[in-house]
Amino acid sequence: MKIESTALPGVLLIEPDVFGDSRGFFLETWNRRRYHAAGLDQEFVQDNMSLSRKGILRGLHFQNPNPQGKLVQVLQGEVFDVAVDIRVGSPTFGRWFGVHLSGENHLQLYVPEGFAHGFCVLSETALFSYKCTDFYNPDTEYSLRWDDPDLGITWPIETPVLSAKDQSARFLKDFPRDALPTFQA
């Protein structure tokens, strides 16, 4: 397994070891001892899965309080996955990192607490899985605009299909600072 740091401290790109032959493949999607030894020592309390069709964009979501760190991967299909640093006081506040995750490349992305997260589906469908460090709390969930010009995310689609919640999401500049997570040095 290889774990790479990204331009956003704490956001990690993980390439699991894949063992394959003519029958198919095998890989570990989570092994606490192995991931801990590699520097990802998180306790996950909830696993989620979503199935989405091409053109769907989910996000950018975050919870505050009760932030969630997420270990995400695509089991089938392909998405463009994005993490945005929204921690007030962070040197990388407002910056984003994006990567193509697919059932073919088996990459995982760790998105730490304090970041907004979202993805858009590029294949006909995508089966998306994520492990979370805290439980889902709809009372503390927010949506950040996917097309916020201050973020400048280069999404590979122009007119995504959005939920009603994501259609009414706010720009980062419109969030009161006390509604956002705080950077802990």
Catalytically annotated residues: 61, 130
List for the chain the helix, strand, coil content (%; round to 5).
Answer: 10, 45, 45
Task: Collect all residues with Cβ–Cβ distance below 8 Å to 144 and sequence separation of at least 6.
Answer: 59, 60, 61, 62, 84, 86, 116, 151, 169, 170, 171, 172, 175
CB–CB of 17/111 below 8 Å? no
Q: Please state the three-class secondary structure of 70-88 as a single string.
A: EEEEEEECEEEEEEEECCE
Our CA angle for 19, 20, 24, nearest 5°, is 130
> What CA–CA distances, in Å, run from 90 to 38, 48, 70, 185?
24, 28, 19, 8
Task: Name residue, tokens 């306790």.
Answer: 43
